[in-house]
């Protein structure tokens, strides 16, 4: 199979086979569970400000549709390709299944650096991408959400484009919209809030007081910044933060509120506290209690894993830890890993709440959303910790096994057509 290629897809595949071995899934059942149901590739031509026409490659992968519509973000990033999007869709499947959401995994992307576009070009591209996807998505088929390089405004354009095409407002076609356009309270901070919430669960398990703990957060977008704010709100000293422009470390602690305000105003961290700059790769291996990778895939490799000086890894990003790093971490029992499909599930859980509210046209208070979110995360946390203990496996294997089992069971019960 050459359609899905590349290191990220290989990683998702390798992880799946580790789980399939653990669950003793017969070889002839594995392809059915792993290979994406649908993959869509489109060309998006748009008018640029200088009068040129530029064409951008767009993708959407629907991993499975067995439990309900596909669900997952759409990212705008220069390097996306079909293999990476497929891997991310597969991870969304296990994530949604672990959280018991009625969804299959989906993911989309456009190969573009969004910072290279003007606002108007970004709008043109967002609208054209959704326009190209209209035959393949729908509130009961595939529901998009924000991911790297996209935000509430992009979701509003997606929703508007879809709605204009159908002639009626259909807010439930995407989640992560502005609150004034059918979005839910709490969605913006949901992922980061969940990362901090589960990091506290892990600290508690290790007997570390939050007020005595330190944290390093890699990535300062929507997920990383809210994770940092959530940790700092309960007294954790955030000593390191980074984005694609700079990595900062100060053992005395950084002012994350000021950093978040700076990043919101300037779009980047560079210029905020340049005197504290360190090498981005070194930031990961500096001493801390909580290390939260909240940026891209495959940042903790085998070499870095052997050098880590943290007690908890709270994976805000999707796929930040390679299988080689997992092998190294298996020898380092002092480090507790909150795996991505558990740790960053707050986003899609609140997306599910948004979809439910949109379908019912009945909206909840922020307290209601956050309370339901924390309960859902607590349920998943307990399931994963108990399973890891019972089976004597890593938390990642436990989390993925629960997700894979749920999808497998649904496929088995529904049978094979025809
Ligand atoms: N893009 C986010 C993720 O990777 C959120 C997906 C969603 O809300 O549907 O989990």
Tell me which of 13, 71, 95, 107 is the catalytic residue.
107
Q: How far apart are CA 177 and CA 168, in angstroms?
A: 17
Nearest ligand 1 atom to the CA of 187 is: 8
Q: Is the CB–ligand 1 distance for residue 71 below 6 Å?
A: yes
Nearest ligand 1 atom to the CA of 88 is: 4
Q: Could you tell me if 134 and 216 lie in one domain?
A: no
Q: Could you tell me if 283 and 327 lie in one domain?
A: yes
* Catalytic-residue membership of 383: no
Mean pLDDT of 295-306: 97
Q: Does the pLDDT at position 66 exceed 70?
A: yes
Mean pLDDT of 139-159: 98
Write down the pLDDT at residue 417.
82
Q: What is the torsion angle, in degrees rounded to the nearest 10, for the CA atoms of residue 94, residue 27, residue 21 and residue 85?
A: -30
Ligand 1 center to 76 CA (angstroms): 13
Test site for ligand 1: of 60, 89, 351, 369, most ligand atoms within 8 A of the Cβ: 351
- Among candidate residues 181, 200, 217, the one where a domain is terminated: 181
Q: Could you tell me if 221 and 339 lie in one domain?
A: yes
Q: Could you tell me if 51 and 113 lie in one domain?
A: yes
Does any domain span residue 412? no
What's the CATH code of the domain at 300? 3.40.50.720
Q: Does the pLDDT at position 85 exceed 80?
A: yes
Q: Could you tell me if 121 and 192 lie in one domain?
A: no
Does any domain span residue 395? no
Does any domain span residue 354? no
Write down the pLDDT at residue 350.
98
Q: Is the CB–ligand 1 distance for residue 210 below 6 Å?
A: no
Q: Does the pLDDT at position 376 exceed 70?
A: yes
Q: Could you tell me if 336 and 316 lie in one domain?
A: yes
Residue 150 in contact with residue 112, Cβ under 8 Å? Answer: no
**For 183-239, how does the pLDDT look when each residue is reduced to its tens digit (9 = 90+)?**
999 999 999 999 999 999 999 999 999 999 999 999 999 999 999 999 999 999 999
User: Which are the contacts of 391, defined by CB distance < 8 A and separation ≥ 6?
Assistant: 22, 397, 398, 401
Q: Does the pLDDT at position 323 exceed 80?
A: yes
User: Which are the contacts of 259, defined by CB distance < 8 A and separation ≥ 6?
Assistant: 220, 225, 228, 241, 248, 269, 272, 273
Q: Is the CB–ligand 1 distance for residue 149 below 6 Å?
A: no
pTM: 0.98
Ligand 1 center to 7 CA (angstroms): 21
Q: Could you tell me if 30 and 135 lie in one domain?
A: yes
Q: Could you tell me if 193 and 172 lie in one domain?
A: no
Does any domain span residue 363? no
Residue 365: count other Cβ atoms within 10 Å of its Cβ: 10
Q: Could you tell me if 208 and 270 lie in one domain?
A: yes
Q: Could you tell me if 169 and 230 lie in one domain?
A: no
Enclosing domain of residue 124: 7-181
Ligand 1 center to 273 CA (angstroms): 31
Q: Could you tell me if 194 and 59 lie in one domain?
A: no
CA-based end-to-end distance of the chain: 24
Closest residue CA from atom 9 of ligand 1: 72
- Among candidate residues 343, 373, 405, the one where a domain is terminated: 343
Does any domain span residue 405? no
Q: Which residue has the tokens 């502005």?
A: 178
Q: Is the CB–ligand 1 distance for residue 346 below 6 Å?
A: no
What's the CATH code of the domain at 165? 3.40.50.10860
- Among candidate residues 343, 370, 394, the one where a domain is terminated: 343
pLDDT class for 57, splitting at 50, 70, 90? very high
Write down the pLDDT at residue 1.
58
Helix (H) or strand (E) run with residue 387 in it: helix 366-391
Test site for ligand 1: of 61, 86, 92, 103, most ligand atoms within 8 A of the Cβ: 92
Q: Could you tell me if 117 and 229 lie in one domain?
A: no
Mean pLDDT of 77-97: 97
Angle between helices 7-22 and 82-98 (to 10 degrees): 30
Percent of the chain beyond pLDDT 90? 99
Mean pLDDT of 9-17: 97
**For 95-136, how does the pLDDT look when each residue is reduced to its tens digit (9 = 90+)?**
999 999 999 999 999 999 999 999 999 999 999 999 999 999
Does any domain span residue 239? yes
Residue 60 in contact with residue 79, Cβ under 8 Å? Answer: no
Does any domain span residue 386? no
Ligand 1 center to 117 CA (angstroms): 23
Residue 416: count other Cβ atoms within 10 Å of its Cβ: 7
Q: Give the number of domains in the chain.
A: 2
Q: Is the CB–ligand 1 distance for residue 347 below 6 Å?
A: yes
Ligand 1 center to 96 CA (angstroms): 10
Does any domain span residue 286? yes
**For 254-280, how does the pLDDT look when each residue is reduced to its tens digit (9 = 90+)?**
999 999 999 999 999 999 999 999 999
74 DSSP β-pair partners = 108, 146
């Amino acid at each position: 199979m050459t359609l899905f290629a590349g290191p990220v897809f290989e990683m998702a595949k390798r992880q799946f086979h580790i789980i399939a071995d653990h669950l003793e899934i017969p070889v002839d059942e594995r392809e059915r569970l792993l290979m994406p149901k649908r993959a869509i590739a489109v060309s998006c031509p748009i008018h640029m400000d200088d009068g040129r026409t530029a064409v951008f490659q767009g993708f959407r992968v629907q991993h499975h549709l067995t439990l309900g519509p596909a669900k997952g973000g759409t990212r705008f990033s220069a390097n996306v390709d079909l293999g990476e999007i497929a891997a991310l869709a597969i991870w969304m499947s296990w994530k949604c299944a672990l959280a018991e959401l009625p969804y299959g995994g989906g993911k989309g992307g456009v190969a573009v650096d969004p910072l290279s576009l003007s606002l108007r070009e970004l709008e043109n591209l967002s609208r054209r991408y959704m326009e190209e996807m209209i035959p393949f998505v729908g509130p009961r088929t595939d529901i998009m959400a924000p991911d790297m390089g996209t935000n509430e405004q992009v979701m509003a354009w997606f929703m508007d484009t879809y709605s204009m095409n159908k002639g009626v407002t259909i807010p439930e076609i995407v989640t992560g919209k502005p609150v004034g356009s059918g979005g839910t309270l709490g969605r913006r901070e949901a992922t980061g809030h969940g990362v901090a919430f589960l990091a506290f669960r892990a600290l508690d398990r290790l007997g570390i007081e939050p007020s005595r703990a330190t944290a390093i957060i890699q990535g300062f977008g929507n997920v990383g910044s809210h994770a940092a704010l959530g940790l700092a709100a309960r007294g954790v000293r955030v000593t390191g933060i980074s984005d694609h422009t700079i990595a900062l470390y100060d053992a005395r602690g950084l002012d994350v509120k000021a950093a978040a305000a700076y990043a919101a105003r300037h779009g980047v961290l560079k210029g905020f506290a340049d005197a504290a700059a360190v090498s981005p790769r070194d930031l990961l291996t500096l001493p801390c209690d909580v290390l939260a990778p909240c940026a891209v895939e495959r940042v903790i490799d085998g070499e870095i894993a052997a050098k880590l000086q943290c007690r908890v890894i709270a994976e805000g990003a999707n796929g930040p830890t390679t299988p080689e790093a997992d092998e190294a971490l298996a020898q380092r029992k002092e480090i507790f890993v909150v795996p991505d499909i558990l740790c960053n599930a707050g986003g899609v859980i609140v997306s599910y709440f948004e979809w439910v509210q949109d379908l019912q046209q009945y909206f909840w208070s922020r307290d209601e959303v956050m309370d339901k979110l924390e309960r859902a995360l607590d349920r998943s946390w307990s399931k994963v910790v108990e399973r890891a203990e019972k089976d004597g496996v890593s938390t990642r294997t436990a989390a993925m096994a629960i997700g894979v089992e749920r999808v497998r069971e649904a496929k088995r019960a529904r049978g094979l057509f025809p």
